[in-house]
Structure formats: structure tokens, C-alpha cells
Amino acid sequence: MYHPTTRVLAVLELLQTHGRLSGAEMSRRLAVDGRTLRRYIVMLEQIGIPIMSERGRHGGYALMPGFKLPPMMFTDDEALALSLGLLAARSLGLADAAPAVASAQAKLERIMPAGLKQRVGAIDATVRLDLARATAPQDNAALVTLSSAAQARMRVQLRYKPPGAPESERGFDPYGLAFYDGCWYAVGYCHLRHDMRTFRLDRIVDASPLPQGFDRPEGFDALAHLRTSLAAMPRAYAATVLLHTDLHTARRYLMDAIGLFEQTSDGVLLHNQSDDLAWFARELASLPFGFRVIAPDALREELDTVARRLSEIARVR
């Protein structure tokens, strides 16, 4: 569950920004019901925030005239950057992101001059980001704990429950975290398996700090390691293809997850692990440069099938 303090502060920020809002509108923005909203209003009043309430169908809530908290100040570029960041945050797999985003957006709008507020509002209303549909964890506790431990280079005790398998527990040295293909991952050294491992945050049951520290490899890149690990994961078929191009061009036309790329004097070797050679053949057939299949023979047969099909389509008038 999302911590109620965040929602209570979001109520305050919305009232400071808009002056007066109906209960229905505030409930919609914070993704809560009316009863919960009234509880948050009471909590604000208990800490000394003067709120006026109007009952009835056209009623609503407003702060007492003259009440303002000191605003935070941003440059125009900072405000635009934060607005884009908030837009992205909605799709980055954060548990119950709606109230946090609403509160932060309200803070920005409250301190912006009219012209900048209009431009930022245009971004929120018209810009859409091509982000994968994220898998959100139950809450953000694991993300906070693991990122703090990674920064401090401190071990954690990790309880993990993968689908279809029993829960396990281990000491874990978090080297870094990464968001990839709609999921959050923690990458680091697992003291149960005595090797590098990757864990999805939405499958972590609990992460608790431990007093032991650790040394992280210099320049470690969690996202690069994650991509390499996923691309090298053993599957039904292992294939090797020599691409007649350079590494930059190969990566431009092929996604990272398709395999491991190796620059050689003859071109780029692509090491692929696949459950579907027909799909891999279609991906190769779409490339604008030549290539040679080194293994397996079954991939050559799938490419021949693709070639025959395209030839038949080309003959149709």
C-alpha cells in the first residue's frame, strides 16, 4: 500500500495550486474514494492546516485565504525537465504512482509563471512516451532499500519468490538497479548461488539491510549487465550468424535482446539463443545487409522457407 502521508501532502498541494476543488475532482486526481479523501482532510486540519469545506452537490474544499507554504523555485528548463520526468514516472512501474505524480505536478504549477505553466500543461496534455507497460511491485520498499544499499555498498537479506517455485532467502550485494522492458531488476552478487544474479523487484518478498559491506566492480553498469544476461540466457536453439556490417550498424537494426554481438575482422558475430528459429529467420531476412549462417542447419532451412514465401508473394499480380 502507498504511504498515506504522500496522499495527505498531495491534497495540500492541490488546494494550494487550485484554490478550491470539489471532492469528486480531488478523489479522481488522487485515485481514492470520497471517504478516504475526507479522512485526509481531517488529518490536515489536525496538524493546523486551515481548510474550509462546503457541503452539498456543488461543495468542495479550499484553504483559508492567505494561507501559503513557501514555494520551491525552478528555472524554466528545470520545470520542463521535471514535467517530462513526471510524465515518464507514470509508466515506470512505481507502486501507486498517481498521488505522488499529482502532488509533484501541483507543486510545479503553483510556482510557475503563467506562460511556463501553459507550456508545461501542453506537455502533460499532448506528449506520450513510448514506454512498455510496466509491471509494478506491491510497493516501492524494495526499490528504496536496494538503491540505498547499492549506493552505500551494503549487503541486504533478500527473500525472493519466483513464479512456480518456492520462496528462497539469501544474502545479496546489490551492485545496481535497472528498468528494462517494463520491469525493475536488481543486479548483484548472490551469496546463496555464489555468482552474479538478477532479481525482478515485483517478485521480492522482503529486502532488509545487513551490516556487512561489499566492493562493487569499478564502472559496473547494471543495465548493460542485465541486457547481456538476458540475451545469453539458454533457450531451445543456439545460433551463430556472421553479419556483413560493423557493430554500430548491427545494433542499429537489431534489438539488444536478440543476442550477443562480437566484432571480428570479417564482420559482426551474432550469438543468439531462441525458442523460435522461424521468428529469428524473419528478423534476419529484414536486414538491409548480408549475412552468413554459421549454425545451426535448421536456421538455414527456416531462411529458405522465408525466401520461398517472399518469392511466391512477389510473383502475384
Q: Are residues 196 and 252 in the same domain?
A: no
Report if residue 136 sits inside a domain: no
Contact criterion met (CB below 8 Å) for 20 and 62: yes
Q: Are residues 109 and 167 in the same domain?
A: no
Instruction: Identify the residue with better confidence: 293 or 119.
Output: 293
How far is the C-alpha of 158 from the C-alpha of 241, rounded, in Å?
Answer: 39
- Segment 112-124 shows an average pLDDT of 76
Q: Are residues 180 and 247 in the same domain?
A: no
Kindly state the greatest CA–CA separation across the chain: 79
- Residue 120: which pLDDT band, with cuts at 50, 70 and 90? confident
Q: Are residues 250 and 156 in the same domain?
A: no
Contact criterion met (CB below 8 Å) for 225 and 187: yes
Supply the CATH number for residue 223's domain.
2.30.30
Residues 6+ apart with CB under 8 A from 4: 40, 43
Total structural domains within the chain: 3
How far is the C-alpha of 69 from the C-alpha of 57, rounded, in Å?
Answer: 29
Nearest Cα residue to 306 out of 276, 274, 271, 279: 279
Q: Are residues 238 and 218 in the same domain?
A: no
Report if residue 207 sits inside a domain: yes
Instruction: Identify the residue with better confidence: 130 or 200.
Output: 200
How far is the C-alpha of 59 from the C-alpha of 22, rounded, in Å?
Answer: 6
Q: Are residues 221 and 238 in the same domain?
A: no
Nearest Cα residue to 158 out of 114, 101, 201: 201
- Residue 85: which pLDDT band, with cuts at 50, 70 and 90? confident
- Segment 104-132 shows an average pLDDT of 75
Q: Are residues 188 and 299 in the same domain?
A: no
Give the pLDDT confidence score for residue 1 in this predicted structure. 44
Maximum mean pLDDT: which of 27-31, 80-84, 256-260, 303-307: 303-307
State the residue range of the domain holding 54. Answer: 1-131
Residues 6+ apart with CB under 8 A from 238: 271, 272, 273, 295, 296
